[in-house]
Amino acid sequence: MRTLFLNLPVTDVAASRAFYTTLGFSVDERFSDDSSASVAVSDAIHLQLMSREKMAGFVPEGTAIGDPRQATAALYALSCDSREEVDAMVAKALGAGGSAWMPPQDHGFLYGASFTDPDGHVWEVVWMDAANVQ
């Protein structure tokens, strides 16, 4: 099995850490400090939330660190086990300082909703009934 490590620039590491732990994800303190937080979404998905200054040290000099509030460069989609879990995760995100992004979409076999984190990174949460995919 492969593991995905997704590095995201954030404005306030402490606020981002609080946001993602409110969603139910854990923080690996071995890879966290004042300038970054290592968030385990699952055994195979890890977020490295880095201050914009720290992230600048991981890219070629002079490379701009994008601002997801200004332009959408990626949509991060995460599966859920049920429609209810989709709605619960969006509710947690909104209660923790996230913002609504797109209205929920219901295609019968596929249900999804979305939110942005405090920095504007877009998260889609989806449930799919694979047995009824058309």
Domain range enclosing 45? 1-59
Clarify whether residues 41 and 90 are in a common domain.
no
Let me know if residue 64 belongs to a domain.
no
44: three-class secondary structure by DSSP: coil
Let me know if residue 46 belongs to a domain.
yes
Q: How is residue 70 written in tokens?
A: 């200004």
pLDDT at 132: 77
Residue with tokens 């949509």: 75
Clarify whether residues 17 and 46 are in a common domain.
yes
pLDDT at 1: 85
pLDDT at 131: 80
| Helical H segments across the chain, by residue range | 13-22, 52-56, 83-95
Clarify whether residues 48 and 5 are in a common domain.
yes
Across the strands, what pairs with 126? 79, 112
Clarify whether residues 130 and 83 are in a common domain.
yes
pLDDT at 130: 81
Q: Which CATH number fits the domain that encloses residue 51?
A: 3.10.180.10
pLDDT at 17: 98
Clarify whether residues 41 and 96 are in a common domain.
no
Phi-psi region of 91 (alpha: psi -120 to 50; beta: other; left: phi over 0): alpha
* Tens place of pLDDT per residue across the chain (134 aa): 899 999 999 999 999 999 999 999 999 999 999 999 999 999 999 999 999 999 999 999 999 999 999 999 999 999 999 999 999 999 999 999 999 999 999 999 999 999 999 999 999 999 999 887 76
Q: What is the separation of C-alpha 81 from the centre of its chain, rounded to a whole number of angstroms?
A: 17
Report how far apart, in Å, the C-alpha atoms of 64 and of each of 37, 59, 61, 98, 110 are.
21, 9, 9, 24, 37
